[in-house]
A and B are shown apart, each in its own frame.
Chain A
Amino acid sequence: MKTREYMLGNVAIARGLLEGGVQVVSGYPGTPSSEIVDTLAARKERDYHVEWSVNEKVAMEVAVGAAWAGVRSAVTMKHVGLNVAADPFMTLSYSGVKGGMVIIVADDPSCHSSQNEQDTRRYAQFALVPCFDPSTPQEAKDMLPYAFEFSEKFETAVIFRPTTRISHGKSDIELGNLPVEKKPTSFEKLPDRWVMLPKNARKNHSRILAAQPGIEEALAKAPWNSLEIKEGSNFGVIGAGIASVYAKEALEELGLKSSFLKIGAYPLPKKLVYKLLENVEAVLVFEELEPFVEEQVKIIAQEKGLPVKIFGKMDGTVLREGELNVSSFLKALGKVFDLPETSKSGAELEGAEEAAAAEAEIQQLELAPRPPALCAGCSHRATFYSMKKVFGKEAIYPSDIGCYTLGIQNGTVDTTLCMGGSISVASGLYHAGEKRPICCSIGDSTFFHTGVNSLLNAIYNKANITVTILDNRITGMTGHQPNPGMGRTATGEPTVEVSLAELCKAMGVKSLSVVDPYDPPALQEAFRAAKAFDGVSVVIAKQPCVISAKRAGIRRAPYHIEADKCEGCKQCVKFGCPAIEFDEEKKVARINSLCSGCGVCAKLCHFDAISEGKQ
């Protein structure tokens, strides 16, 4: 009997890479993709190279090198990471590969942890690269060995695109076998393919265009694309990736007879679409994010002169933004068949009036919002506090991507565009003639990612800004991955510890300080000096992330507030730490069990009421 294990989608994807015989894996952390490299790096027995690269572009190039050496490689990133890696990606499609190469790009419908909800399938089409779109964690795992073979057969890299609910879904997974043999390494000098001079680019563009019909034909026969024609029904559903599972569940629940085209790989198998359209009068296209399949279905219907009604996102039957689910499919079906919106509950229950009254009472319960917040003892909060103290409300605070974007609650995040963008946006604000002080913030990992380029540019082009590097010694939000400033690799091996201070100095920074944000007076002194400096000043606020510090065994005694000394001024409460509460009855502040012992609040108290140790 086959082994079944309960695992996270990303762990299943990591397993799929192993079953596919992967030899080199690179990536840059990004929700919801991060646990793939985490899982492979944490394995004790490894017969492959795995790394956290400094950014997605670099990661992709590492995987390309490996694939050109003839071995199987994979690179992982979140959807916006592909924007960073778009340069190598768009030309890689011309070069193609020798060893199989899978580019894993995780999409995030509804922006659970992202700045936009772009659809990676557009990139695949843009570059003429095949794309796999798994519908379940099991299928995701099973697709990967196939994707490697497909990549080698057609000598092209392929995209593999899970969405949040695949990557962060859990499921019982039936495991496959791990391969015994791996591909031999042998880089072959093929300048026609690996050197993209204009003459080679023209040839390769023709080559890949000519390969498209063969790729489409092969994918039409692949197990991931399947068509079921239901006799006696003139209605059809096209479900892509995970959306196909929502549609199937809803159809089964309704007992509705419908033909069904399940799409799991692109380019879209036109043959199957055509066959479906010939058999139905109306079709509903259900897919996450963009109306990518829908547009092509409309083109096919027009080309073949088929008068089929096509429902989907383009006519508003399905919402184009956000995330799909079973309920959104039912809603769409209601629109297609012009049904009144029914709820299967209320009316069926006895005492519908009582139910309605109860529902009304529930609606009246006013819930306090609980947005994500910086942890108790987070060094970012302390840095933002001192930053605002020195630069004031008037200053402009460009920021970046990481946990610290939550500093919007502290009033020190005025812009967030993309990884590394804070410093360049700050430069642009300055060169536009903005006279207010400009102080930006960027995390250590984000600085290594693309902030270095931005700082170099700011110095070179003589901006007058302050750059705060929030050096919490980790890539925090994505789950605590190491970065070049930490002196260890993804697998925990010791390596060079790149000094942020030396790096900044080498680029010509003349005003620089490294301060512990848990020491507000010292940090404020550093900020004052930076603010007074004419040119680019850098303040490195260095203090490990509280979560990783705790994991590393650092234990600090929690603090307490002496009620008789507390004047109820709320100075500590305004600091915004979740460990500090205010007792409205007694008009005093108190510290709860979340306290991690950073001690910053004690330094802010005007009445010396906060001290170390339990009460």
Chain B
Amino acid sequence: MSVNPAQSQKQSFDLLITGVGGQGAILASDIIGKAAVAAKLPVRAAETHGMAQRGGSVENHIRVGTEFGSMIPKKGADLLLALEPMEAVRYLGYLKDGGVIIINTEPVVPVSVTSGLAKYPEVSKILKTLARKYDVKAFNAEELALEAGNRLAMNVVLVGAVSNYLPIPSDILLECVKKLVPPKTVKVNVKAFELGRAKVKENSELS
């Protein structure tokens, strides 16, 4: 008996979204999932629910173009979308070497830090370290969301940013943004999406 590991035949685009419970990771992943279906691509996703989500660290797996399971294998993700800088580092094991990381640089400070039990690593140091091994696109998505009209649209700014890489047409993604955000916020979110999309497109040397 012998194994001949062939070259990887992976068909799917695997995206990991990480962040903190309450930042809107599930909405971001729903926009991408629904858009994939609208683009007639098979899609699988996995989410964090229950006790694990109460203000804790969350991870959402999205696999566009797979008929297999929802969990991205170790070192299998093509792209890591981090809604929070420290949460980018926590899940690096899923990202392939040299993979793309899109990071919102605005930290959410955990209680372990506010209560003085732990220290938050310097964001600039996180970005510099990650850039040694990965293709890092970092910017303050919360500021862009504010520019669009509401800082809560931060997750949609990042969906716009990641739209540059997804195998889904951006107009389909934008349609799903319009369908899934609260009706009163459509205008703000459309702008947020466009700002995020332009941010990554215009400048590949973000830091």
Name the residue among A256, A282, A333 with the largest chain B CB count within 10 angstroms. Answer: A256
Indicate if the CB atoms of A367 and B6 lie closer than 8 Å.
no
- In the complex, which residues 355-411 of chain A have their Cβ closer than 8 Å to any Cβ of chain B? 355, 357-359, 361-362, 365-375, 403, 405-406
Given contacts A4-B37, A254-B5, A368-B112, contact A326 B118 (CB under 8 A): no
Do A249 and B98 form a contact, CB below 8 Å, given A368-B120, A372-B55?
A: no
Given contacts A31-B50, A346-B97, A368-B86, contact A326 B69 (CB under 8 A): yes
B73 touches A327 (CB 8 A): yes
Kindly identify, within residues 239 to 294 of chain A, every residue whose CB is under 8 Å from any CB belonging to chain B: 242, 245-246, 248-250, 252-256, 281-282
A410 smallest CB distance to B (angstroms) = 11
* Complex alpha-carbon distance, A542 and B53, angstroms: 24
A168 to B47, CA, bound (A): 6
Per-residue CB proximity of A331-354 to B under 8 Å, as 1/0?
A: 001000101000111100100001
A170 touches B9 (CB 8 A): no
Residues of A within 8 Å of B115, CB to CB, are 573-574, 576, 582
Residue of A nearest to B76 (CB): A326
Chain B residues touching A, range: 35 or more
The docked-state distance in angstroms from the alpha carbon of A325 to that of B93 is 14
The CA of A113 and the CA of B133, in the complex, are separated in Å by 34
1/0 contact string of B156-176 vs chain A (CB within 8 Å):
000000000000000000000
Q: A113-B49, A406-B54 are in contact. Are A256 and B4 (CB under 8 A)?
A: yes
What residues on B are CB-neighbors of A4 within 8 Å?
37
Return B94 CB to nearest CB of chain A, in Å.
10
* B21 interface neighbour in A372, A374, A403, Cβ under 8 Å: A372
CB closest residue in chain B, given A348: B97
Judging by beta carbons under 8 Å apart, are B49 and A361 in contact?
no
**Which single member of A170, A281, A357, A370 contacts B20 (CB below 8 Å)?**
A370
Q: Which residues of A contact B76 (CB under 8 A)?
A: 326
User: CB distance A169 to B46 under 8 Å?
Assistant: yes
**A-B contact count, CB below 8 Å?**
209
Which B residues are CB-close (under 8 A) to A372? 21, 51-56
- Whether the Cβ atoms of A578 and B114 lie closer than 8 Å is yes
The smallest C-beta distance from A585 to any residue of chain B, in angstroms, reads 13
Q: How far is the CB of B101 from chain A (nearest CB, A)?
A: 11
For window 547-585 of chain A, which residues contact chain B by CB distance below 8 Å?
570, 573-574, 576, 578, 580-582, 584
Question: Chain A residue with minimal CB distance to B107?
Answer: A368
CB distance from B169 to the nearest CB of A (A): 16
- On whether the beta carbons of B68 and A349 are closer than 8 Å, the reply is no
Instruction: Please report which residues of chain B, range 106-125, place their CB below 8 angstroms from some CB of chain A when the two chains form the complex.
Output: 109-116, 118-121, 125
Also in contact, A168 and B4, with CB within 8 A (given A370-B56, A375-B55) = no
The answer to whether A362 touches B34, judged by C-beta atoms less than 8 angstroms apart, is: no
Q: Judge whether A362 and B5 touch: CB under 8 Å.
A: no
Which partner residue on chain A sits nearest B98 by CB separation? A349
The yes or no answer to B130 lying at the interface (CB within 8 A) is: yes
Q: Chain A residues near B30 (CB, 8 Å)?
A: 6, 170
A478 is an interface residue with CB less than 8 A from chain B: yes
Instruction: Give the contacting residue for B45; candidates A170, A327, A375, A477; CB below 8 A.
Output: A170
Task: Jot down 7 A-B pairs with beta carbons below 8 A, ordered by A.
Answer: A113-B50, A136-B69, A165-B46, A325-B73, A325-B74, A367-B121, A373-B54
Question: Which residue numbers of B lie inside 8 Å of A, CB to CB?
Answer: 1-6, 8-10, 20-21, 29-30, 33-34, 36-37, 42-57, 66, 68-71, 73-76, 86-87, 89-90, 92, 96-98, 109-116, 118-121, 125-126, 129-130, 132-133
Residues on A facing B (Cβ under 8 Å):
4-6, 8, 31-32, 112-113, 136, 165, 168-172, 234-235, 242, 245-246, 248-250, 252-256, 281-282, 325-327, 330, 333, 337, 339, 343-346, 349, 354-355, 357-359, 361-362, 365-375, 403, 405-406, 477-479, 570, 573-574, 576, 578, 580-582, 584, 592
